[in-house]
Amino acid sequence: MGPATYRAGAFVTAAERLGLDVVPGLDLPEPLAGRWQVTLGLDYNDPEEAARRVAAFAAEHPVAAILAVDDGATLVAARAAALAGLPHNEPASALAARDKLVMRERLAAGGVPAPEFRSYPLTVNPAAIADDVRYPCVVKPTRLSGSRGVIRADTPADFVAAFERTRRLLLGEGANPETTCLLVERFIPGVEVALEGLLTGGALRVLALFDKPDPLDGPFFEETIYVTPSRLPPATQEAIARRTAEAAAALGLREGPVHAELRINDEDVWPIELAGRSIGGLCSTILEFGAGMSLEELILRHAVGLPLPSTERTGEAVGVMMIPIPRGGVLRGVYGTEEASRVPRITGVEITARPNYPIFPLPEGASYLGFIFARGESPALVEAALREAHARLEIRIDPLLTMQRAG
């Protein structure tokens, strides 16, 4: 896992409940990673060497499974599991689920509907290719997650600005301009959903299907509300599940959790993203299966070969709002959380951004302000509660210039 993941606590808690020991492999130098009881410091920029280190550890200890918690860890986990002889997705499949260009190529080769796409090196002059692009389009990095750097362009001028903005972001992240490319694909309109699933021998089991009631039409694609069960017709939900299974097969994914983003319109069901890991952030905390089993416990049971009780989701409708960052600056505080928590059907409000630190919205930002959780009698009531709770929050963000002058 990455050192900034939201997911560590949930997986550790699930492991403790199952009596499993956890050895975190962190993308950190060994001395910094040592705050954990037993930790492997890994360099995800060198996945081959990182995988060898994990496999060497597994050769000396009774390791039952190697699991990727977030996107950056999937390549290392797949390669390490292959070296250790443990159940895994093939490294090439993990790459296809991690790299958006490889994903598009695999989907096209597998006959799975996907938007038209082309890739361009970072070194290209976007003005020289702007007239060759079909609009509206989406410019996106091939490896970043959480919609970072993803920008819609409706005109050649929009395209040039989007290309240059995403290029600046990647160069700021240390990307090599000679070997890094950008993906440019046709914008697919429609309703967007997220599917949480589990693969066993290539067979997909749908764990949850989330509606995303806020439109995601750009120019940026910040996700906000997830609600399940879905309010789409049963036939549409079945089509979404079939298409997700087809996409996973085209990528070669066969084992473990998958998180898929799809769009539905009058033309077809379109896979937009398919990741070989479970849902991000703190969103999984709203999901329970069987007799109160968490998503993380279900994933760990599957990974180590323990029996899987019922994977039917229990309880009422549930939802989560990933609190968006309204503008860049220095976060001074989020006020009104107690008032938001008193909204009927709200089960929790958690602010994860640290006060007095700079924060940035998409497309450059990499996090949310926090999360609002709700549970209720119907998806509509859950959605309304999330919106009301969010309206009661007051977010104070000072311009960065204020901080610079104060310094």
Q: Which of 130, 153, 186 is the last residue of a domain?
A: 186
Tell me: do 40 and 76 sit in the same domain: yes
Residue with tokens 């919609």: 147
CA distance 185 to 119: 8
Instruction: Sort residue 146 into left (φ over 0), alpha (ψ -120 to 50) or beta.
Output: left
Tell me: do 355 and 400 sit in the same domain: yes
Three-state DSSP class for residue 247? helix
Asked if residue 384 belongs to a domain, the reply is: yes
**Could you count the other beta carbons within 10 Å of the beta carbon of residue 68?**
27
Q: Which of 131, 166, 186 is the last residue of a domain?
A: 186
Q: Which of 150, 169, 186 is the last residue of a domain?
A: 186
Read out DSSP for 192-214? Answer: EEEEEEEEETTEEEEEEEEE--S
Helical H segments across 257-369, by residue range: 295-304, 337-341
Instruction: Indicate the pTM of the whole model.
Output: 0.93
pLDDT value at position 30?
Answer: 65
Q: What is the CATH number of the domain that holds 163?
A: 3.30.1490.20
pLDDT value at position 34?
Answer: 56
Tell me: do 91 and 142 sit in the same domain: no
Residue with tokens 């009698």: 377
Tell me: do 55 and 134 sit in the same domain: no
Asked if residue 274 belongs to a domain, the reply is: no
Question: In the chain, helix, strand, coil percent, each to 5?
Answer: 35, 25, 40
Asked if residue 344 belongs to a domain, the reply is: yes
The sign one gets for the Cα dihedral 254, 268, 221, 282 is negative
Asked if residue 243 belongs to a domain, the reply is: no
Asked if residue 339 belongs to a domain, the reply is: yes
Tell me: do 75 and 154 sit in the same domain: no
Asked if residue 216 belongs to a domain, the reply is: no
Enclosing domain of residue 21:
8-96
Tell me: do 326 and 399 sit in the same domain: yes
Asked if residue 162 belongs to a domain, the reply is: yes
Q: What is the CATH number of the domain that holds 340?
A: 3.30.470.20
Asked if residue 294 belongs to a domain, the reply is: no
**pLDDT digit string (tens) for the chain, length 407 residues:** 888 788 888 999 999 999 999 999 998 876 555 555 668 889 988 999 999 999 999 999 999 999 999 888 999 999 999 999 998 889 999 999 999 999 999 999 999 998 999 999 999 999 999 999 999 999 999 999 889 999 999 999 999 999 999 999 999 999 999 999 999 999 999 999 999 999 999 999 999 999 999 999 999 999 999 999 999 999 999 999 999 999 999 999 999 999 999 999 999 999 999 999 999 888 999 999 987 899 999 999 999 999 988 888 877 999 999 999 999 999 999 999 999 999 999 999 999 999 999 999 999 998 899 999 999 999 999 999 999 999 999 999 999 874 443 33
Count of domains forming the chain: 3
Read out DSSP for 298-324? Answer: HHHHHHHT------PBPSSEEEEEEE-
- Cβ contact 263:114 at 8 Å: no
